[in-house]
Amino acid sequence: MVQKVLLVEDEFAIRQMLLFVLQDAGFEVIQAENTQEAMVCISENSIDLLILDWMLPGISGVELCSRLKKEAEYKHIPIIMLTAKAEEDDKIQGLNAGADDYLTKPFSPRELIARINAVLRRVSSNKVTEEVLEYDGLVLNEKSHRVSSNQKPVNVGPIEFKLLHFFMSHPERVFSRTQLLDNVWGNDVYVEERTVDVHIRRLRKALEADGHDHMVQTVRGSGYRFSPISL
């Protein structure tokens, strides 16, 4: 199946170059010059990946990125941000806005395609099709809202259930507290980042009895990760 990439870049020459590179790699490409145009393209097409320039006239790329990641309908679309900025702060701002990856101009066509393929692979491997998630004896049933650890039922609160569900759907990925708040609590809820730590502690406590608490791992300076592999 041909994958559809939406390319949002205001500079004609760069857009043309990227268009050529992407088409050459076998992608179907839709182009937009600004965020308004991009929104129309997104609502009218089923987009597999978004390549988004940071600096755009009007609403910036990073702003569009964070808006899309808040929309239930669009948050699954992977986004690669393009930027001329190489500063660490901007990179963090981009990733906090929900970008899946980040490329600093100038970059080589090969690097772009490699990043795209990596992001697409990650997204497809994260896609949840089953209603039951299982790692090493830890089982979460989405439909019945039940969790069991080595066949013994585990009592978890509603937030801990959502948290564990999100983790088990995205194993081996580090999420910042902000990302967890957005994905588990939702964007309209205002809660402090510390709240995440409280619920992580409760979740670990619930998983402790059968030794599955080690799967909820703290990544120093970054956030949390779910991993079946012991540290």
Nearer to Ca ion by Cβ, of 39 and 55: the residue is 55
In the list 4, 10, 120, 141, the residue contacting Ca ion (rule: CB under 5 A) is 10
In the list 48, 53, 100, 182, the residue contacting Ca ion (rule: CB under 5 A) is 53
Nearer to Ca ion by Cβ, of 53 and 160: the residue is 53
Q: Using the rule CB under 5 A, is 113 a contact of Ca ion?
A: no
Among candidates 189, 176, 161, 157, which has minimal Cα distance to 225? 176
- With beta carbons less than 8 A apart as the criterion, state whether 103 and 82 touch: yes
Spell out a b/e string for 76-87, using b for 16 or more CB atoms within 10 Å of the CB, else e.
ebbbbbbbebee
- With beta carbons less than 8 A apart as the criterion, state whether 173 and 220 touch: no
Instruction: State the greatest distance between any 2 C-alpha atoms of the chain, in Å, as a whole number.
Output: 61
Nearer to Ca ion by Cβ, of 48 and 53: the residue is 53
Closest distance of CB 53 from Ca ion, Å: 4
Stretch of 30-38, 53-61, 122-130, 148-156 lying at the interface with Ca ion (CB under 5 A): 53-61
Helix (H) or strand (E) holding 179: helix 177-180
Closest distance of CB 196 from Ca ion, Å: 34
Stretch of 36-44, 51-59, 85-93, 218-226 lying at the interface with Ca ion (CB under 5 A): 51-59
**Residue 16, token pair as written in the block:** 């043309």
- With beta carbons less than 8 A apart as the criterion, state whether 183 and 128 touch: no
**Residue 50, token pair as written in the block:** 């978004």
Closest distance of CB 167 from Ca ion, Å: 36
* Cα 128 to Cα 170: distance, rounded to the nearest angstrom: 9
Q: Using the rule CB under 5 A, is 55 a contact of Ca ion?
A: yes
Closest distance of CB 114 from Ca ion, Å: 22
Among candidates 25, 76, 20, 77, which has minimal Cα distance to 52? 77
Stretch of 5-13, 20-28, 41-49, 125-133 lying at the interface with Ca ion (CB under 5 A): 5-13
Nearer to Ca ion by Cβ, of 7 and 200: the residue is 7
Closest distance of CB 9 from Ca ion, Å: 6
Residue ranges that bind Ca ion, judged by CB under 5 A: 10, 53, 55
